[in-house]
Amino acid sequence: MLSISPIYASLLVILIVMLAYRVTTFRRSEAIGLGDASSSKAMKCAIRAHGNAVENIPLGIVLLVILELNHLTPWLQHIFGVVLVVSRIMHAWGISNYSGATKSRFYGTLFTWLTLILMAAVNILIVLTR
């Protein structure tokens, strides 16, 4: 039974749902059913925050689950999970509140990508060293 990856997968899914709720709230308040052409800058930022989360989080969840199935040391699984959750929150905060470049958005992206690459590399190393 999996015991580590479900924690981080659940936290990340909650983040996606929260970001989706923000988009829905903007759509209702601005009476926009589809698209974002006539929407506010804040709504466009909310849409991108949600979209970016949906683009990156599933990859992280899959890699975390595979690491756990491959019996990676639990403390490393937790490090990957915590860094992924924190970096996704940082990115969502940065892109949701500011339309331009921010440190939060930059570091959120950087640490997300580094974590995804490291998890992929560790999974490959586990398989190649068996």
Domain ranges, residue 120: 5-128
Return the pLDDT at 30: 84
**Number of structural domains the chain divides into:** 1
Q: What is the pTM of this model?
A: 0.93
Long-range pairs for 5-8 at CB < 8 Å and ≥24 separation? 5/61, 5/64, 5/65, 5/67, 5/68, 5/77, 5/81, 7/81, 8/60, 8/61, 8/64, 8/81, 8/82, 8/84, 8/85
Return the pLDDT at 82: 98
Whether the Cβ atoms of residue 22 and residue 96 lie closer than 8 Å to each other: yes
State the CATH number of the domain containing residue 38. Answer: 1.20.120.550
Instruction: Quickly state the pLDDT bin for 9 (edges 50, 70, 90).
Output: very high
